[in-house]
Amino acid sequence: MLILNNTNSQPPTFLLTGIPGLRAAQVWISIPFCLLYVVALSGNSMILLVILHEQSLHEPMYYFLSMLSVTDLSLSLCTLSTTLGVLWFEAREINLNACIAQMFFLHGFTFMESGVLLARPWIVALDRFVAFCAALRYTAILTNARVAQIGIVVLIRNVAVMLPVVLFVKRLSFCRSLVLSHSYCYHVDLIQLSCTDNRINSILGLFALFSTTGFDCPCILLSYVLIIRAVLSIASSEERQKAFNTCISHLSAVAIFYIPLISLSLVHRYGHSAPAFVHTIMANVFLLIPPVLNPIIYSVKTKQIRKAIIRVLNQKQSQI
- Residue 268 near residue 202, CB atoms below 8 Å: no
CA neighbours within 13 Å on the CB side: how many for 181? 25
pLDDT at residue 200, rounded to an integer: 93
How confident is residue 12, by pLDDT bands cut at 50, 70 and 90?
confident
Could you tell me how many residues make up the chain? 320
At 176 the pLDDT is 67
Q: What is the pLDDT of residue 284?
A: 79
The reported pLDDT for the residue numbered 25 is: 73
pTM, to two decimals: 0.86
Question: pLDDT tens-digit profile of 282-298?
Answer: 777 778 889 999 998 88
Q: What is the pLDDT of residues 143-160, one digit of tens each?
A: 777 788 888 999 999 999
Q: Which pLDDT tens digit goes with each residue over 47-83?
A: 999 998 888 888 877 888 899 999 999 999 999 999 8
CATH superfamily to which 4-319 belongs? Rhodopsin 7-helix transmembrane proteins (1.20.1070.10)
pLDDT for position 136: 44
Cα–Cα distance, 280 to 316 (Å, whole number): 39
The whole-number average pLDDT for the span 162-175 is 90
Give residues with Cβ within 8 angstroms of 151, minimum separation 6: 67, 116
For 282-310, letters b (16+ CB in 10 Å) and e give bbbbbbbbbbbbbbebbbebbebbeebbe
Q: Which stretches of the chain are DSSP H helices?
A: 26-53, 60-89, 96-133, 138-141, 144-170, 187-191, 199-211, 213-232, 237-270, 276-301, 303-319
